[in-house]
A and B are shown apart, each in its own frame.
Chain A
């Protein structure tokens, strides 16, 4: 290698060192000669030509970490054992830094004369790692809270709601004429609403456990018809016409309870938010396209629509209902659940809507 090339390579190496914040150093214990590279100095925040003695080099490490560096350094020199440790230093300017110190025995004529190695500033990585750990901790805490919440719902709230419902039934048995009373009717309705909301909430919270259920082959055309059948009464009562335009052989491998719940909720939504002024209220379900990985489905209705300008950010939130029509029994959980379930299946959902014209949901679901 030509001298110019060697110099060029050396420059390149120095540049890499600076950028990666890796410095090198060597300690020759024979003649007490210590070498620090520029980057090593930079990390220690010392002046350009600073060279420490062994003791002052060690003293850059914070007191707690000194026994460790002494031990590994000694072990490396006497037993030729290399080391790779993460320690903390306090720089000349008093800043605390996390460093990765790597050391190897330094040979001269087949004899160990000292230790040399690299020195890397890993403060940023450690900082990110700590942030990550903190985020993880918060997430686990939240998860724990959610689980406790789940417990409260499934045991305490549900039992109480169940008791109220049973007491109302008993009341009716004991005092038949109470059924005539307006208040009793309202009480029964409220009790049913409470029970349903808790059931939905409970379903939502135990989804995590359910996802482990085996996926099965699902014909979406038949699944759609099944949902139509279950909602037939509601659709007929509200004069909503349902069109299943999916190919008859459209099949995916997925979690049946999730996919069904997504379809059921979207169909139910279209019936609930129909626009009675239209000559024919309708919902069309069709296949937009498909590729190797997923099917893109379309749920298009000509209902009331939602003002996306106003509500875009909140559309899939829990307990958000955009309609004030008193005839609509809305708990605001439908779309929240749909999005949740679509995403649990690793699919996506988009909404497009115009007030008074209708709503168009596009749902992508993985094929397997």
Chain B
């Protein structure tokens, strides 16, 4: 079973993505939501030794309280993780500085702009 973590602080956006998930209507993906980068990084740190509980993919918002997307990534890359985790950015920011940051993390091809449409989301989840 594939596991995906979605880090998103906006309630409505979470609602929309959950709705998309229910319309996706398939049981081979387990999705867990976190409200900000700090909660997500704490989860990952707590399960470093149980790869089964670590995600295959993280869908990451940038602008979040406590630990934003870039701060999350900085910490994430200091961790020793035995599993290959794919990162996708999902943001409404088109700021050049954010796009530069994405290039720095080699995520320019994993940079998705909100609003994300259902079909796009489907591809993102199945990929």
Contact = CB atoms under 8 A, between A and B. Distances in A.
A162 B115 CA distance: 5
Chain B interface size, as a band, is 10 to 19
A210 interface: yes
Contact of B16 (A150, A154, A161, A163): A163
A78 interface: no
Given A155-B63, A170-B16, A173-B23, A163 B94 contact: no
Nearest to B96: A209
DSSP majority for the A interface? helix
A150 B93 CA distance: 10
Contacts of A151: 95
Interface string B109-123: 000001111100000
A169 B96 contact: no
B22 to A, nearest CB: 10
A173 B63 CA distance: 29
A162 B118 CA distance: 13
Contacts, number: 47
Interface in A252-303: none
A190 to B, nearest CB: 15
A166 B116 contact: yes
Nearest to B10: A159
A166 B63 contact: no
A109 to B, nearest CB: 69
Contacts of A159: 10, 13, 92, 114
A151 B91 CA distance: 13
Contacts of A154: 92-95
B12 A163 contact: yes
Nearest to A161: B115
A206 B94 contact: yes
Contacts of A209: 96-97
A202 interface: yes
B9 to A, nearest CB: 10
Nearest to B98: A154
B30 interface: no
Nearest to B11: A163
A155 B96 contact: no
A217 B95 CA distance: 26
Given A159-B114, A166-B117, 13 more contacts: A151-B95, A154-B94, A155-B92, A159-B10, A162-B114, A162-B115, A163-B12, A166-B16, A167-B16, A169-B117, A169-B118, A209-B97, A210-B96
